[in-house]
């Protein structure tokens, strides 16, 4: 009986060892060696700083390479690996949308894809002005806008303009945000300051800040596009 038990134990160990070797071999066979996997692994290594001991400074060990080589892009306050990937994706999408219409099978693509290319082309066309005239009509229907009509300041009120925008299901909130919030059993009218395109701490630095200067220039160009007088 003891001999049989010993043989069973030896057989079990052999089976376990064989299974373990099979698992290890299988794992090795499934290591990704594709171009994209190699590229990703290389990016990880480049962003690390292997000369730093992880137990001394793990952040520097994991991110030191990225910190040492990265230059903050112009116009950005922060950047990260994710930001770099997003920029790369945007570049590739831009290339695809600009060149998709040249593809031999473009006409056979589903209509939503072709519509997307058309809309993107319109957005990138500096000479496309049809949308401007439509926006000007909306301004007039909402009561006008002082920047576009100098006869308005005496009678124009932003409250009426905001009400008109919201009544016609148009995005308001350019001067203030109004919303109704249910606070059982009452309904509260909430008034908030408008959402600005730039953080308040950056805007507070004034026109001497390059980011604020570009923002003012952008908003001025938009107003001029809709019919405002840049000199005024």
Q: Are residues 203 and 214 in the same domain?
A: yes
Q: Are residues 182 and 211 in the same domain?
A: no
Instruction: Give the pLDDT score at 57.
Output: 92
Instruction: Give the pLDDT score at 192.
Output: 72
Residue 82 lies in a domain: no
Number of separate domains in the chain = 3
Q: Are residues 190 and 203 in the same domain?
A: no
Q: Determine the Cα–Cα distance for residues 74 and 141; give it in Å rounded to an integer.
A: 40
* Mean residue pLDDT across the chain: 76
* Interval 121-171: pLDDT, tens: 877 777 666 667 777 777 777 777 777 776 666 667 777 777 777 776 666
Residue 76 lies in a domain: no
Instruction: Give the pLDDT score at 11.
Output: 55
- pTM here is 0.47
Residues 6+ apart with CB under 8 A from 107: 114
Domain, as residue range, for 201: 196-231
Instruction: Give the pLDDT score at 4.
Output: 46
Residues of the chain with pLDDT under 50: 2, 4-5, 26-27
Q: Are residues 157 and 189 in the same domain?
A: yes
Q: Give, for 187, the enclosing helix (H) or strand (E).
A: strand 186-192
In this structure, which long-range contacts are made by residues 139-143, counting pairs with CB atoms below 8 Å and at least 24 apart in sequence? 139/226, 141/168, 142/168, 142/170
Q: Are residues 207 and 189 in the same domain?
A: no
Q: Are residues 189 and 206 in the same domain?
A: no
């Amino acid at each position: 009986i003891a001999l049989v038990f010993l043989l069973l134990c030896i057989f079990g160990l052999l089976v376990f060892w064989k299974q373990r070797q099979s698992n290890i071999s299988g794992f090795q066979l499934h290591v990704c060696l594709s171009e994209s996997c190699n590229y990703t692994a290389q990016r990880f290594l480049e962003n690390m700083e292997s000369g730093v001991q992880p137990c001394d400074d793990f952040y520097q060990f994991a991110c030191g390479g990225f910190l040492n080589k990265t230059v903050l892009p112009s116009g950005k306050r922060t950047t990260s690996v994710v930001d770099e990937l997003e920029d790369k994706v945007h570049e590739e999408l831009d290339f695809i949308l600009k060149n998709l219409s040249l593809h031999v099978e473009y006409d056979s693509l589903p209509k939503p894809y072709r519509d997307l290319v058309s809309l993107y082309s319109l957005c990138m066309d500096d000479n496309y002005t049809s949308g401007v005239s439509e926006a000007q009509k909306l301004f007039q229907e909402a009561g006008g806008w002082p920047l576009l009509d100098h006869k308005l300041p005496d009678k124009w009120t932003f409250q009426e303009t905001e009400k008109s925008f919201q009544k016609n299901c148009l995005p308001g909130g350019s001067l203030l945000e109004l919303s109704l919030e249910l606070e059982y059993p009452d309904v509260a009218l909430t008034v908030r300051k408008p959402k600005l395109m730039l953080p308040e701490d950056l805007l507070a630095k004034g026109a001497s800040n390059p980011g604020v200067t570009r923002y003012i220039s952008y908003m001025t160009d938009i107003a001029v596009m809709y019919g405002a007088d840049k000199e005024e």
